């Protein structure tokens, strides 16, 4: 049995969870999320504990058992606490600034990147002197937050020789030695 799928989900106070057919809706203080699921997967609710139940042990049901449990848990955590990601810009002359939901990034190219961040994601930039600029993203939707952070990171991925690029705060970039001239 799936280790992820069989663990119960605790629904905290202040979070409304409704299951209507194949649509799960979660409402909380930060927002509302909905997810369409396989109607064969069922749920059992006892008080504030929700358990995901699969009908059979075939491969599809085993895969979806853990998937839907994780998705619903992320929805509950998102609407009650929210999620946050921080990106660090490492490189000489790399800058970040924002005006509303527009993020402007200068990443060493001849042009500036301007990204329109969705309204569900709150945006903040920190530029302290002597430190690398940091872009802070926060949202109640974990999937959307991860997609926005991955899009920003894809504009200039960290390279292994000098370590320049956009990386997550705390991400370890494996460094390479580079060329060494042949001496005779």
**11-42 tens-digit pLDDT:** 999 999 999 988 999 999 999 999 999 999 99
Residue 67 sits in the same domain as residue 112: no
pLDDT tens, 90-107? 999 999 999 999 999 999
In this structure, the answer to whether residues 41 and 28 fall within a common structural domain is yes
- Choosing from 23, 47, 80, the residue where a domain stops is 80
Per the listing, tokens 């699969």 go with: 54
The separation between CA 47 and the C-alpha centre of its own chain, rounded to angstroms, equals 29
Number of domains in the chain: 2
62 lies in the same domain as 95 = no
The reported pTM is: 0.89
Cβ contact 112:105 at 8 Å: yes
- Quote the domain boundaries for residue 99: 83-168
Element (H, E) at 4: helix 3-6
Task: Say yes or no: 127 and 74 in one domain.
Answer: no
């Amino acid at each position: 049995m799936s280790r992820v799928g069989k663990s119960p989900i605790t629904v905290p106070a202040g979070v409304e969870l409704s299951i209507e057919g194949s649509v799960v809706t979660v409402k909380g203080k930060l927002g509302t999320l909905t997810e369409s699921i396989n109607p064969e997967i069922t749920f059992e609710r006892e008080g504030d504990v929700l358990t995901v139940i699969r009908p059979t042990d075939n491969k599809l049901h085993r895969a979806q058992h853990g998937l839907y449990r994780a998705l619903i848990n992320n929805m509950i955590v998102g609407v009650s606490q929210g999620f946050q990601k921080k990106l660090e810009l490492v490189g000489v002359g790399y800058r970040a600034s924002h005006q509303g939901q527009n993020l402007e990034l200068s990443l060493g190219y001849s042009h500036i990147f301007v990204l329109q961040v969705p309204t569900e994601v709150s945006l903040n930039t920190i530029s302290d002197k002597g430190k690398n600029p940091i872009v802070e993203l926060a949202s109640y939707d974990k999937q959307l937050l991860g997609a926005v952070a991955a899009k920003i990171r894809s504009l200039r991925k960290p390279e292994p020789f000098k370590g320049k690029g956009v990386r997550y705060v705390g991400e370890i970039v494996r460094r390479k030695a580079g060329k060494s001239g042949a001496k005779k």
